[in-house]
Structure 1
Amino acid sequence: MRTTWLNLLLSAVLALFTGSASADETRARQILDRFEHANQWRDHVMVAAHRAGSMQARKTLYAENSIAAVEGSIALGAEIVEVDVRRSKDGQFVVMHDSWLDRTTNCKGEVVKRTLAELKTCRLVIEGTGAVTDEPVSTLREMLMATKDRILINIDNKLDVDSLAGMIAVARDLGMAEQVIVKENLWNPARITTVKAAMGAIGSGFQFMPIIADDAVRDAGFAEKVSGIFSPRAVEMINWRAGSETLTDTGGPLFSPRMRAAAIRGDWHIWANTYAIVNKPGGFLAGGRGDELAVLASLPRETYGFWAERGATIIQTDEPKAAIDWLAANGYRVPYPDEARPAAEPANTASIN
């Protein structure tokens, strides 16, 4: 009897200690736990905000790739922000999608022809409205400092694959390499060899995510090979769509039952993209089932629900609020310790089936 009571007391103390440790975890650590253990969190769909998350209900609220947009995505509860990285004339990593400054800043010309000091005189512009903000072009270091311990950051490398080493070095210097996801396209054995060599030169302690597109890869076998070589925690799947093609009703070859089985065996997330591409049909990366269908046509179930049911446990979107709200209200998100569970499904969830 005494042994039993001692065991119970020990268990209670251990539970108290564990609870305290959990409460002290940073938000990024809680997110990272779900990112690194896909099989334990198949009932939760993570949301990645494209270009830091500048849009709500088709209205651009923040400049893309801005720290203001990051703050907005964190407030919404997104788990990942995706940003684009280029290099200045003097070799500094800066956050910018286009190779030219004209669209997203009040400056003109090529990014690579401006020094960092010159780029710092440029102010980000809110696309669509043309409003000039007070925020200058950010360095990668500044962007990482804004996200540290708060959210994961996905770097879209606009340079060569060897440049990733320098980007990870910046993250390591800030003590946050594990919170950084870098990614590269893989399409054949030669490309795998090139990227594997680059990743090996960088070492460990960060997240590498392969990107696979269905214009080059038609089945899960390639993903299984990639999984065996890189042991990723997520694989980004691109579902291309020609302009005249109808909505996919299957998810395409990369969202097949075999791919879902491969993801489970490899313990990695399937990452889907619903964001728009300029001058392309809606849902160009999502078989027509993109953010436009969810928001403009008021059919979120046919977008976010469709991809979740086909195995996606991370969705990258231009509409993080719409995605989070619908996924949470329909049982596709498990609340974090400091979040409340939503009460009901939002309106406008009609089906096209």
Structure 2
Amino acid sequence: MKKYLSLILLVLAYAYSNAQVRSPRNAEELKALFLNAESEQILVCAHRGDWRNAPENSLQAVQNCMEMGVDIVEVDIRKTKDDQLILMHDRSLDRTTTGKGKISDWLLADIKDLRLKNGAGMKTDHKVPTLEELMLLIKGKPILVNLDKAWDNLPLAYAVLKKTGTLNQAIFKGNEPLFKMREQWGAYMDSIMYMPMVWPEHHSIYKRDSIQSPRAYTQGFYTNFKPVAFEVIIESENSSVLEAMTLMKDQQTSIWINTLWSELCAGHYDDLAQYDPELHWGWVIKAGAQVIQTDRPAKLLDYLRTKGLHP
């Protein structure tokens, strides 16, 4: 009898364990996991999508991410001459498309006649997507989007998200103190998922706004507000930003760390991590990351899955 009871308990424990790490089935489940700072699971954000295998900021780059199991995709937002929002990092069309000149000088219809270039600068068959096209692609699916460079066009971006019913899948970010955010955008701040960026103490925002430290800047966001996460920039292993991260952990707020290049993550960046993931991505996780933004999503996913750290 005891043997049967032990077997039943083992089966139940296994089932419970699997339920805890089950992959999110939809956007709401993924959002809940993103907001859960106590989760041991690490989420992966792909910088500009899967740009090594498709043009950056293209729908195909996002589709590739969904197929490999990426949790969040980072894209860049720019505004055309006729106030339409497209996905593009640069202010000009030159580097990533077959066109030339400032995006702000082009109508969307004319941009749609262009083709995107791949990482080698060669023309592809892919077109420049709009923010609306992106959000319709991911709507309801288990993936979130980090909207970079969207802050100056918040009302336009918000309108697109409302129209497509995808407000619950979009993360906005910025690096101004909360009081400035509220002065500029008022009620928008309570209607979006907002993630402040926390820079090292020598950054100009501290002197400009008379903020004493990254920790003090972070503390300011807990005044009648709670961010969905903080994106932290850690330039060295003794950075004062680590003190701010202690406060974030105490407040049970998710921490987002970029491993794109050395200055963002105390030297533990992707190009080193792909050869020694434990030393570098492992360090980032031990520092407190719940989300890692990477230029090598497939390799990061492989590492996390072997450690049982990805749902």
* TM-score bracket for the superposition, by shorter chain length: 0.7 to 0.9
Please state whether the residue corresponding to 1:271 is helix, strand or coil: strand
What TM-score results when the alignment is normalised by the length of structure 2?
Answer: 0.84
Letter aligned with residue 240 of structure 2: P
Hey, what does 1:82 align to over in structure 2? 74
Tell me if the contact between 2:97 and 2:115 (Cα under 8 Å) persists in the aligned partners: yes
Q: CA RMSD in A?
A: 2.0
Report the Cα distance in structure 2 between the residues aligned to 1:50 and 1:228, rounded to whole angstroms. Answer: 31
Q: Does the CA-based 8 Å contact 1:51-1:65 persist in structure 2?
A: yes
1:207 corresponds to which of 170, 193, 201: 193
In structure 2, the partner of 1:147 is 138
Query: Amino acid of the residue matched to residue 131 of structure 1?
Result: M
Cα separation, partners in 2 of 1:98 and 1:321, compared to 1, 3 Å? same
For 1:198 and 1:177, locate their aligned partners in 2 and report how far apart those are by CA, in whole Å.
20
Partner residue of 1:289?
Answer: 268
Which of 39, 50, 53 is residue 53 of structure 1 equivalent to? 50
Superposition TM-score, scaled by structure 1 size: 0.74
The CA distance in 1 between the partners of 2:135 and 2:190, in whole Å, is 18
- 2 CA distance for matches of 1:204 and 1:172? 14
Instruction: Kindly provide the CA deviation profile for residues 84-126 of structure 1, in whole angstroms up to 9, marking residues without a partner as x.
Output: 0010011111111000111111111111110001110111111
Q: Does 1:300 align with 2:277?
A: yes
Counterpart in 1 of 2:251? 266
Q: Distance in 1 between matches of 2:64 and 2:184?
A: 33
CA distance in 2: counterparts of 1:192 and 1:33, whole angstroms = 24
Query: Could you say which residue in structure 1 is the equivalent of 2:36?
Result: 37
Percent identity between matched residues is 32
Distance 1:195 1:95, change over 3 A: same
Q: Aligned pair 1:127/2:119, yes or no?
A: yes
**Equivalents in 1 of 2:223, 2:297: separation in Å?**
32
* Partners of 1:147 and 1:255 in 2: CA distance: 34
Compute the displacement of 1:331 (Å).
3.2
Task: Give a deviation string over 1:27-65, Cα, whole Å, max 9, x none.
Answer: 2122111112222x1x111111111231xxxxx211000
* CA distance in structure 2 between the partners assigned to 1:238 and 1:124 by the alignment: 31
Shift of 1:219: 4.0
CA deviations 1:149-168 (Å, max 9, x no partner) are: 121011002562xx212201
How far off its partner does 1:266 sit? 2.2
Contact residue 74 and residue 147 of structure 2 kept, 8 A: yes
Residue type of the partner of 1:264?
A: K
The equivalent residue for 2:157 is 167
Residues in 2 aligned to 1:203 and 1:192: alpha-carbon distance in whole angstroms: 9
The equivalent residue for 2:240 is: 253
Is contact 2:81-2:108 (8 Å) kept? Answer: yes
- Pick one of 283, 289, 298 that aligns with 1:312: 289
Residue in structure 1 matched with residue 9 of structure 2 by the alignment: none
SS of structure 2 residue aligned to 1:170: helix
Cα 1:323–1:122 shift into 2, 3 Å: same
The answer for unaligned runs of 5 or more in structure 1 is 1-18, 55-59, 241-247, 277-282, 336-353
